[in-house]
Amino acid sequence: MASGGITIGQAIDLGVATMGAFDQDAVQIALKHPTYEVINRWFAGDKKVMSGGKKATWDLTVKDTGNAAHVNMFETAAPNLANVNVEGEVNWCHAKNSFTYSVDELAMNLNDKTRIFNLFKNRRQNCAREFADLLEEAAWKTPASASDSKAPHGIPSWLCQADTSAVTGDFQGYVGDYSVAVLSTESAYATVGNLACTTVTNTRWANWYANHSDQLNDSLLDKLGEAFRKTRFMTPKIAGQAIDPESGFSNFRLYSNNEVIKNLEAYARKSDDRLGGDLGKYAGNTVYKGIPLIYVDSLDTTLVYVYGKNPIFGVNHNHFYPMVLSGKNFIWSKPINDVTQNLVLTVFLDLSYAYVCDNRRTGGFLLSNWENAY
């Protein structure tokens, strides 16, 4: 018997039974970030589950066969058998957190079920909070280097700056930059999704980028309008199965920082002569084409050399989403006993996932005040 007459087996069973009383999706806790788009929307509604595979993969067409042509009557055909499909891929990212409890703690509270329940609840929720913070912050970064096998490829990996500040609106976001700690060591990706992308190679794999030069006024609205026009690609109906049923903006979101949203709210106030006494009418309610600008505090101060200053990410979540490995989809383990601490049990939370943009041309765009170290 363990201390207080509770066996390790009973302690495990108690942990399993108590956690089973929790809502597995509810995380009602004091949070670090003002919004949690990643955990609350991306993983809750946008994610796709992959049943297996050493990497997250998807199919993509980035060039033409060259067979489409106008012809004369009875003209002979010379079909070009070309493989125009490629496979994008990205490594799985494995995330983990845990919390512990001891047999002694259970023995001390054996006659108070409420205290035992709260003990598990508080530690599990804190575990979930830290996990949510980890996912939220990593989503707006890129790996530290080519050898960084732990970090996911967040949004700036897929929607990146152009190579020069002269790009005021074009599909010239070829490859992103690593999130290095020392600016002087900044370097660019060789590939994105294992696909090279340059001015001559897989040009359709580039994302749309515009340097807004910190002009957060009419000029910015013009660039936003162009970004939406250029990235809203509608598949011809003749293509049948190729039609994207969500090709509109139903799953499109705009993400930005405090400076951009603050300036656009001020712009909206000045443009509204019916403001009346509601001085906060546009606070948190500024929209473009009916799409609200979502505040992401991670974009306030960090990584300007990766995505520029004062970025606006327009993201089509039909094409950008978390891909989760089946069997590792926010899995809570049963309590596990360690022989080196025979009265301590640990519960693990595990997730294997990757952020994927299966079509960077229609997956969104990036507007920012261009900055780069090289």
Neighbours of 101 (CB within 10 A): 22
* Buried b or exposed e, range 246-255, using 16+ CB within 10 angstroms: eeebebbbbb
| Cα 82 to chain centroid, rounded | 34
pLDDT single digits (tens) 296-344 = 999 997 788 899 999 999 999 999 999 999 989 999 998 888 878 888 8
Neighbours of 212 (CB within 10 A): 24
Residue 144 lies in a domain: yes
Amino acid identity of 288? Y
pLDDT single digits (tens) 34-77 = 788 999 999 998 999 999 889 999 888 877 777 888 888 888 88
Residue 27 lies in a domain: yes
Residue 95 lies in a domain: yes
Tokens of 78: 């010379």
Min mean pLDDT across 55-69, 197-211, 278-292 is at 278-292
What angle do helix axes 8-19 and 113-138 make, rounded to 10 degrees?
70
% of the chain at pLDDT higher than 90: 45
Residue 16 lies in a domain: yes
Alpha helices in the chain (DSSP H): 8-19, 37, 103-108, 113-138, 155-158, 218-231, 258-271, 304-307
Prediction pTM value: 0.84
Inform me whether the pLDDT recorded for 270 exceeds 90. Answer: no
Q: Rounded CA gap, 77 and 112, in Å? A: 83
Q: Rounded CA gap, 136 and 154, in Å? A: 10
Residue 78 lies in a domain: no
Residue 67 lies in a domain: no
Residue range(s) defining the domain that contains residue 17 = 3-58+88-234+253-369
pLDDT single digits (tens) 343-354 = 888 999 999 999
What pLDDT is stored for residue 197 in this prediction?
92
How many distinct structural domains can be found in the chain?
Answer: 1
Tokens of 85: 């499909």
What pLDDT is stored for residue 182 in this prediction?
58
What pLDDT is stored for residue 187 in this prediction?
75
Residue 244 lies in a domain: no
Reported in sequence order, the residue ranges of 274-363 that DSSP labels E, i.e. its strands, are: 287-288, 291-295, 309-316, 320-325, 331-332, 336-338, 341-357
Q: Rounded CA gap, 124 and 104, in Å? A: 18
Handedness of CA 185, 186, 187, 193 (dihedral sign): positive
Residue 142 lies in a domain: yes
Band the pLDDT of 16: cuts 50, 70, 90: low
